[in-house]
Amino acid sequence: MSVSFYLFIHITALVGMVSSLSYLLLTEKNNKKCQMIFGSSALLMLISGFGQIAKLGINMHSGWLAGKILIWLILAASIPMISKRFPHLKGKWFNMSLSLVILAVFLVVYKPF
């Protein structure tokens, strides 16, 4: 598959992940379909991201890449747990998660280290 295809899947999954993250953290109810969209989007982001890494020949030991993967793993693991078990933290974690998304995008665009 081409790099463009992986990039399209990656950005589409990003939109799905951020929109479902917003819904899960900003509403009172726990929507099972939204949780499924979040999980599927997180998995698609991971697969398409590693596909791009392989196609572009990016060094796996880059600091920016490790930071981005760590951010997405933190988000993928914490959002379902917070929305289900710690509903009193939803508002605070929404702000934190948006900051983490912006940091991940910054790392990809500028590759500071």
Ordered by start, the domain boundaries in the chain are 3-110
Average pLDDT over residues 31-60: 96
Q: What is the pLDDT of residues 4-43, one digit of tens each?
A: 999 999 999 999 999 999 999 999 888 899 999 999 999 9
Residue 103 has pLDDT above 90, yes or no: yes
**Whether the predicted model's global pTM rises above the 0.85 cut:** yes
Question: In 57-89, which residue ranges form alpha helices assigned H by DSSP?
Answer: 63-85
d(CA 25, CA 108): 25
How many CB atoms within 10 Å of residue 59?
Answer: 8
pLDDT at residue 99 is higher than 90: yes
Percent of the chain whose pLDDT exceeds 90: 94
Instruction: Quote the percentage of the chain above a pLDDT of 70.
Output: 100
